[in-house]
Amino acid sequence: VPYHAAETYQARLLQAGFSVVVCEQVGIPGESKGPLAREVTRILTPGTVTDDAFVEASDDLWIVAISQDAFTLSACFGSVGRGELVIHDRLDDTGLRALLSRMRPRECLTQSSPPAGFEGRIIETPAWHFTRDTLSRELERTYGVSDPSGLGLADVSETGLGATGALLTYLYDTQRTALVHFERPRIERSTHEVILDHTTQKNLELLSTLRGEKKHSLWWVLDRTATAMGSRELSRWITAPSCDNDAVRARQRTIHALIESGALSDLKGLLGQIGDIERIVARIGLGSAKPRDLTRLRDSLHAIPFVIERLTQTGDNNLLECAQRLNALPKTANLLTEALFEEPSLVISAGGVIRDGYDPELDRLRHFSVDANQMLLTMETEERERSGLSGLKLGYNRVHGYYFELTKAQLAQAEVPPHFQRRQTLKNAERFTTPELKTFEDQALSAESQALKRERLLYEALFPPLIDVISELKTLSQNLARLDALTSLATVARESHWIAPELTDTVEIQIEAGRHPVIERAHSTPFVPNDTHLTPEHSLALITGPNMGGKSTYMRQTALIVLLARIGSFVPAKAARIGPVDRIFTRIGASDDLAGGRSTFMVEMTETAAILAEATNHSLVLMDEVGRGTSTFDGLALAWASAERLSECGALTLFATHYFELTSLSESLESVFNIHLTAEVTGESIVFLHRVAEGPTSRSYGLHV
């Protein structure tokens, strides 16, 4: 285009939702021989342009990258005009939709299907743009820091990091220049969520143990769900505790009601008959649902009235409410019942999926073969009589179809009728066909293939009415998942004698005779219960005691009880009062990140630094033996400073240490107090009592251990 008119064309193209790649001559005429050098100088996209010529001054242009895995959905919004990146981590569908309608991004980077209701330009982005490696490279390029934790992104989920990486890559590729005016990515979070960063989720062994096994994780204790949807829901709950007391209490009330109702085992049985509606719905949406998916859906829908009835029978208001949220979609259930065989074949191409009586035409085609039997019998008798060959037999095989068979012995005695055509010669017999038999065979075969065609047509016609109710089905699966997760928590609570914690509005953690939910279940030896009392006045407990004394166990059990309380579950204790918590931080155990280029000590210090920077007086902090990986006095200094800082910010802290010197902090800092784990020495052996007692330990028992 003529260069002076370029802008008008560009504006029009952008307006129409296109991107524009601008190529220009960059060589200087006369200076070089041959054709002038040309280059791509700019890429204009509807969501990233900043020129006044293309964008209204009052408009903020946003672009979004969306990333999703089985459990989390995250989005990263970017504005080139504002130089801003905003991460919205761990969203749900509604949250994402609300954001999209609020921010109105012009472009959307995604690897899968575009979000519902999004009207802008979709940019299909390859999966490897949504990875941690890509992010590291982009962070290095834009901010000069490759580790996301260095930019305060330590607790962002993998999907959140992926979305940020993809967005930065796209911005860099289109702008073709360093994004120097960009601020650090900002995380916007729902204010109700207790934040658990990646390290904490790992250290507390929420979904899998440090060894990577599901067994002996918190999930392993809690998951007594009957459906896959329920199990996934429970996993989501475990990683997303809530500070919203009302929402949490509602779950508690339902769990309580489920226990009291005596309906738990009935409900479990009934829920067990329900399939993975959530996934089936996805396959229906993709048009890839198999016959057995639809019958599974049918059977699930039929099971729901029984669930509703059982919930209603209890007469409890909370459970009635659960029942009211379940919609058994009778019309859909009936359609599927009428249309499908009880046990259809696995694939539609094999036939045997659509029920007899559902479609007269299909019935007619199918019944041809039933009527055919009679016709064959008649034909056999007629030919016998006509030819006088009493041994004439009619048969069928897959390769040769229908035939009349005469043994060699019979052939020796009689003439073959003239209208018999030889088909196959066997050792002892000859097989023949006749024009009449041939016609019959053709009809039978075409009826069969027509029936299959008809059946496929009818099967495909089932999809539109199912797609019409897809949002109802999704709601149903969500409510079932929730009910199943609550039933699971109620089962665990009843069997393990857990109690409902009291949720308070003041910051505090008061646990009487608390136990570790996993160790209690995994070990046969009785668990020694212990109390925990953390309040703003006494916020930091310095824990001393021998190795193997139970310090880590005590700290973890406290964190797990708080977490359980915050997801609405009952807790393993005699009594508990749990106040609001904004984050749970953990600095536990040593782990090398040699692949990431960080030694044990570096990992420890990076994590400690993050905690000290971000903990508030609403946070729960677990610090296990900070300062071990260096010389004694360096370590002591680091531990000392960390404890001082945590006491200053008022975070509720459990601080386990081997530095006996630290125990004197309780004299200078009011909020610090000492507790220790008890052990007894008899002669040369040591017995761990695992009991928490007041005051510092008297000795370290290191040599005994």
Q: Which is nearer to ligand ADP, 17 or 629 (CB)?
A: 629
User: By CB under 6 A, which span of 40-48, 285-293, 400-408, 549-557 interacts with ligand ADP?
Assistant: 549-557
Measure the CA–CA gap between 481 and 236, rounded to whole angstroms.
11
Q: Does 326 bind ligand ADP (CB under 6 A)?
A: no
CB of 690 to ligand ADP, least distance (A): 3
Q: Residue 228: which residues within 8 A CB-CB, separation 6 or more?
A: 276, 278, 279
Is 278:296 a contact under the CB 8 Å cutoff? no
Question: Between residue 493 and residue 522, which ones bind ligand ADP under the rule CB under 6 A?
Answer: 519
User: By CB under 6 A, which span of 387-395, 456-464, 524-532, 664-672 interacts with ligand ADP?
Assistant: 524-532
Q: Does 647 bind ligand ADP (CB under 6 A)?
A: no
Q: Sheet containing 620-624: give its strands across.
A: 195-196, 583-587, 620-624, 652-656, 540-544, 672-682, 685-694
Q: Residue 162: which residues within 8 A CB-CB, separation 6 or more?
A: 67, 74, 130, 131, 132, 134, 135
User: By CB under 6 A, which span of 357-365, 392-400, 469-477, 547-555 interacts with ligand ADP?
Assistant: 547-555
Q: Which is nearer to ligand ADP, 296 or 551 (CB)?
A: 551
CB of 696 to ligand ADP, least distance (A): 14
* End-to-end CA separation in angstroms for the chain: 83
User: By CB under 6 A, which span of 12-20, 127-135, 544-552, 639-647 interacts with ligand ADP?
Assistant: 544-552
- Kind of pairing, strands 421-425 and 429-433? antiparallel
For the record, the structure tokens of 589 come out as: 């155990």
For the record, the structure tokens of 187 come out as: 């995380």
Q: Which is nearer to ligand ADP, 482 or 658 (CB)?
A: 658
Query: How many residues contact ligand ADP, by CB under 6 A?
Result: 13
Q: Which of 229, 248, 528, 573 forms a contact with ligand ADP (CB under 6 A)? A: 528
Q: Tokens 């998942």 map to which residue? A: 481
CB of 220 to ligand ADP, least distance (A): 16
CB of 551 to ligand ADP, least distance (A): 3
What is the 3-class SS of 601-633, one letter each residue? HHHHHHHHHHHHHHCCCCCEEEEECCCCCCCHH
Q: Does 549 bind ligand ADP (CB under 6 A)?
A: yes
Please identify the residue of the shown chain whose CB is closest to the bound ligand ADP.
550
522 CB neighbour count, 10 Å cutoff = 13
CB of 557 to ligand ADP, least distance (A): 8
Q: Which of 131, 434, 547, 664 forms a contact with ligand ADP (CB under 6 A)? A: 547
Question: Between residue 550 and residue 579, which ones bind ligand ADP under the rule CB under 6 A?
Answer: 550-553
CB of 67 to ligand ADP, least distance (A): 37
Q: Does 527 bind ligand ADP (CB under 6 A)?
A: yes
CB of 687 to ligand ADP, least distance (A): 12
Handedness of CA 442, 447, 449, 453 (dihedral sign): positive
Q: Which is nearer to ligand ADP, 491 or 697 (CB)?
A: 697
Q: Which is nearer to ligand ADP, 145 or 705 (CB)?
A: 705
CB of 626 to ligand ADP, least distance (A): 14
Three-class DSSP category at 91: strand
For the record, the structure tokens of 620 come out as: 């729960």
Q: Which is nearer to ligand ADP, 129 or 551 (CB)?
A: 551
CB of 689 to ligand ADP, least distance (A): 9
Phi-psi region of 699 (alpha: psi -120 to 50; beta: other; left: phi over 0): beta
Q: Which is nearer to ligand ADP, 241 or 529 (CB)?
A: 529
Q: Which of 43, 548, 602, 693 forms a contact with ligand ADP (CB under 6 A)? A: 548
CB of 679 to ligand ADP, least distance (A): 10
Three-class DSSP category at 211: coil
Q: Does 657 bind ligand ADP (CB under 6 A)?
A: no
CB of 529 to ligand ADP, least distance (A): 7
Q: Tokens 């009330």 map to which residue? A: 253
Residue type, 697: T
Q: Does 162 bind ligand ADP (CB under 6 A)?
A: no
Measure the CA–CA gap between 229 and 212, rounded to whole angstroms.
22
Q: Which is nearer to ligand ADP, 345 or 547 (CB)?
A: 547
Measure the CA–CA gap between 66 and 80, rounded to whole angstroms.
17
Measure the CA–CA gap between 158 and 143, rounded to whole angstroms.
19
Q: Residue 354: which residues within 8 A CB-CB, separation 6 or more?
A: 339, 340, 341, 344, 362, 455, 458, 459
Q: Does 690 bind ligand ADP (CB under 6 A)?
A: yes
Residues forming the site for ligand ADP (CB under 6 A): 519, 527-528, 530, 545, 547-553, 690
